[in-house]
Structure 1
Amino acid sequence: MTILLSTLNARYAHASLGLRYLMANAGELREQMELHEFVIGTKTTEIVEKLLARRSTDGITILGFGVYIWNVEETTRVVALIKRIAPEIVIVLGGPEVSYESAGQPIVEAADYVITGWGDVTFPELCRSILGGSAPAQKMHAGRQPPMAEIALPYNEYSATDLAQRTLYVEASRGCPFKWSRCMRAVRDCSSLLTARSISISKAVCASCSSFSTSSRRRRTIRCSPISNWCPITCRRR
């Protein structure tokens, strides 16, 4: 069995914090997980070829995509082509672009499962069900948000290459307190999702930030951002 996690970032310098959260909270499934990040503008056939080359040869392959406003069109083409070539691959979607306006989207129709909202614990739970032979019948799954203290931090999932070459993200809060009428989340009653949850800057986070700033001599950017991307604070380290 193999679990592939993938997304199309806006540029190479961006490192997906969301997918690394899934890896950090996968428990015993972590050893079966692989992270494959691409950049928008990459040929669909090239992405599909690389992902299919990593599929399991003797068991189930689960392929999870992070879907965002900047990559939904290209990810839709990738998912459609994978399903055409290898329909046995189980495709799971997550991310804001499929969490709040999922009905009628071609990418949702092509996928096997969609996790709306948080996926930190819901994604590995779904994977366990699929791999255990009890795959759920329903496509849509609402992500469950446990207390933040119960969620493993993802910063150890940054590789040495990430530390040396890419923009690193540290989550400072989760949710949004503003409730803007133009926000996708306002299309339905989701006040519970809009309550900002601050994340304590624990010793683990501080240690991670310290390692970010000392492990490489290259200049890099560490972004301390809320997961909803409101009011980001940018800190430059040398």
Structure 2
Amino acid sequence: MVYIKVLLTSLNTKYIHTNLAIKYLAKSIEDICDVTTIDFTINQDIDYILMEIVRGQYDFIGFSTYIWNLEEHLEIAKKLKQINSNYKILFGGPEVSYDAKILMENNDFIDYIICGEGEDAIFNLINTIDNNLDFSRLDGIVYRENGKIKGNENFQMVSDLKDVPKVYNDKEDLKNRNIAYIETSRGCPFNCEFCLSSSYNQRVRYFPIERAKKDIKFFIDKKVPLVKFIDRTFNSKKSRALELIDYIIENDNGVTGFHLELNPMLIDEDYLNIFKNCRKDLFQFEIGVQSTNKKTCKEINRVGDYETIKKVCQEIISYGNIHLHLDLIAGLPYEDYESFGHSFDDIYRINPEKVQLGFLKVLKGSLLYNKRQNYDLVYSEKPPYEVIKTKWLSYEDIIKLKNIEVIVDKFLNERLFHHSIKYIIKNYYDRPWKFFESFGLYWLEKNYFSRKHSRDN
């Protein structure tokens, strides 16, 4: 039997990153086709990427697509079709799942698009092609037939995650990987309107806990420096989260660290009693505060109370053994420049290791995208769809915030002149925000934003 030769690929933002999705998809179809996965990066030359793909003599090429690689994937796919019109081109991923038919209308070189989670869908697609079956029976797949775009955009979700194949095995060599990714759940219990989880049935689904433990142990045995959980809310289910945290601590190798995204409103004394006794650097926690403006949080369905968040975060920081990063998003509804400054002050006073200032991405499929006209949202038409201005923030405000972001990232997050900055803020400024604002203006006056900087210069 002659198998279809399939390549599944993606352009990652950095070499150290790997795409977990294409690993899942490859495992899903390895019994019915000859499948290969390749991780490229967005910094690699397009001609090199094309050469590597063409050299493989594939029949079918699938792209795992996100906001950071859509444009590059479209360019590569178009050139591949020009090189060989017999290539079958598939797109999938969150960036193409919500307007698949429009994307195909605008890009005639795309043959198929999977909408939603792809493990079942890609198996059905390859099986249909291989056995010359009827495409109309497929759900969540848009395709071309006799020049017409057909199919449906029903968002696909794997009903039981125990059916998702394992992607790591003992033979895999991870010695050159500084970061590995693990998924133990999908979905989110919350409904924040800027997130894609707000757009479909977001019921949280969990991989079997014994499988999660085996994956964790695999990375510990391989002594991977950092393992990142891609679960949207790791502590969405308390008993399960505590069991996995205990397992990590019990099997600690003294080397591997774990990065978790947590919701502070779900952290109680049971969590804290464990956290305060764990090894230094065993855990990194990332907490998305996004805003402390109560009206903003209510509008975007963000569940949280600043005083509770502050208390929990400061307690964790006091242990001195866990890296804590807090996130803010500029451009949310009802958050003007002054309000964002106060949100920053609130976060700064918690004293996390890093404060990450991000800018709103108006994601197709999110509730916020559907309400964008209500907020007078102006944003880039191309990925990453970043906000340009809103009803509450002018473009000039956004530029000032971007300048401040550079200062915060370079000086606060890299801990440059850390004690000096704390001393200056305490003795010469009534608010932390005012210091970083004035620092940004100083850099602007001196034209420092146009220069490259390092610790040496």
Pair 141,163 (structure 1): closer, same or farther in 2 beyond 3 Å:
farther
How many angstroms apart in 1 are the aligned matches of 2:207 and 2:170?
Answer: 19
Match of 1:145 in 2: 158
Shift of 1:76: 1.0
Match of 1:214 in 2: 221
Query: Amino acid of the residue matched to residue 167 of structure 1?
Result: I
Query: Amino acid of the residue matched to residue 85 of structure 1?
Result: I
Deviations 1:31-62 (A, max 9, x none): x1111110012122211111011124xxxx11
Q: Give the % identical residues.
A: 23
Shift of 1:198: 2.6
State whether residues 100 and 116 of structure 1, in contact with CA within 8 Å, keep that contact through their aligned partners in structure 2: yes
How many angstroms apart in 1 are the aligned matches of 2:196 and 2:107?
Answer: 17
Aligned length: 222
Match of 1:180 among 175, 192, 195: 192
Query: Amino acid of the residue matched to residue 153 of structure 1?
Result: K
Match of 2:205 among 197, 201, 205: 197
**Residue 52 of structure 2 aligns to a residue in which SS?**
helix
State whether residues 163 and 212 of structure 1, in contact with CA within 8 Å, keep that contact through their aligned partners in structure 2: no
Match of 1:159 in 2: 172
Shift of 1:149: 2.0
Match of 1:99 in 2: 97
Pair 185,86 (structure 1): closer, same or farther in 2 beyond 3 Å:
farther
Shift of 1:163: 4.8
How many angstroms apart in 2 are the aligned matches of 1:88 and 1:144?
Answer: 30
State whether residues 81 and 109 of structure 2, in contact with CA within 8 Å, keep that contact through their aligned partners in structure 1: yes
**Residue 6 of structure 2 aligns to a residue in which SS?**
strand
How many angstroms apart in 2 are the aligned matches of 1:109 and 1:185?
Answer: 29
Unpaired segments of 5 or more residues in structure 2?
136-144, 236-257, 261-280, 283-457
Match of 1:29 in 2: 32
TM-score where L is the length of structure 1:
0.81
Match of 1:15 among 18, 37, 45: 18
State whether residues 92 and 114 of structure 1, in contact with CA within 8 Å, keep that contact through their aligned partners in structure 2: yes
How many angstroms apart in 2 are the aligned matches of 1:181 and 1:123?
Answer: 29
How many angstroms apart in 2 are the aligned matches of 1:145 and 1:158?
Answer: 27
**Residue 98 of structure 1 aligns to a residue in which SS?**
coil
**Residue 169 of structure 2 aligns to a residue in which SS?**
helix
How many angstroms apart in 1 are the aligned matches of 2:214 and 2:40?
Answer: 28
Pair 157,126 (structure 1): closer, same or farther in 2 beyond 3 Å:
farther
State whether residues 65 and 94 of structure 2, in contact with CA within 8 Å, keep that contact through their aligned partners in structure 1: yes
Match of 1:89 in 2: 87
Query: Amino acid of the residue matched to residue 124 of structure 2?
Result: E
Deviations 1:129-164 (A, max 9, x none): 11223373435564352311222222229830x354
Shift of 1:221: 0.9
State whether residues 67 and 96 of structure 1, in contact with CA within 8 Å, keep that contact through their aligned partners in structure 2: yes
Pair 101,43 (structure 1): closer, same or farther in 2 beyond 3 Å:
same
Shift of 1:183: 2.7
State whether residues 160 and 205 of structure 2, in contact with CA within 8 Å, keep that contact through their aligned partners in structure 1: no
State whether residues 182 and 227 of structure 2, in contact with CA within 8 Å, keep that contact through their aligned partners in structure 1: yes
How many angstroms apart in 1 are the aligned matches of 2:16 and 2:170?
Answer: 16
Unpaired segments of 5 or more residues in structure 1?
none
Task: State the structure with more CA Rg.
Answer: 2
Shift of 1:27: 4.8
Deviations 1:96-129 (A, max 9, x none): 0001233433675431000010101110210111
Match of 2:71 among 70, 73, 98: 73
Pair 195,157 (structure 1): closer, same or farther in 2 beyond 3 Å:
farther
State whether residues 189 and 204 of structure 2, in contact with CA within 8 Å, keep that contact through their aligned partners in structure 1: yes
Pair 117,126 (structure 1): closer, same or farther in 2 beyond 3 Å:
same
Pair 224,207 (structure 1): closer, same or farther in 2 beyond 3 Å:
same
**Residue 168 of structure 1 aligns to a residue in which SS?**
strand
TM-score where L is the length of structure 2:
0.44
Structure with more contact order per residue of length (Cα contacts < 8 Å, sep ≥ 6): 1
Pair 42,158 (structure 1): closer, same or farther in 2 beyond 3 Å:
farther
State whether residues 184 and 212 of structure 2, in contact with CA within 8 Å, keep that contact through their aligned partners in structure 1: no
State whether residues 182 and 215 of structure 2, in contact with CA within 8 Å, keep that contact through their aligned partners in structure 1: no
Is 102-111 or 3-12 further displaced after alignment? 102-111
State whether residues 6 and 38 of structure 1, in contact with CA within 8 Å, keep that contact through their aligned partners in structure 2: yes
The root-mean-square deviation of aligned C-alpha atoms, in Å, is 2.7
Pair 133,191 (structure 1): closer, same or farther in 2 beyond 3 Å:
closer
**Residue 12 of structure 1 aligns to a residue in which SS?**
coil
Query: Amino acid of the residue matched to residue 259 of structure 2?
Result: T
How many angstroms apart in 2 are the aligned matches of 1:9 and 1:158?
Answer: 24
Query: Amino acid of the residue matched to residue 50 of structure 2?
Result: V
Match of 2:183 in 1: 171
Query: Amino acid of the residue matched to residue 175 of structure 1?
Result: G
Deviations 1:80-106 (A, max 9, x none): 111111121111111000012334336
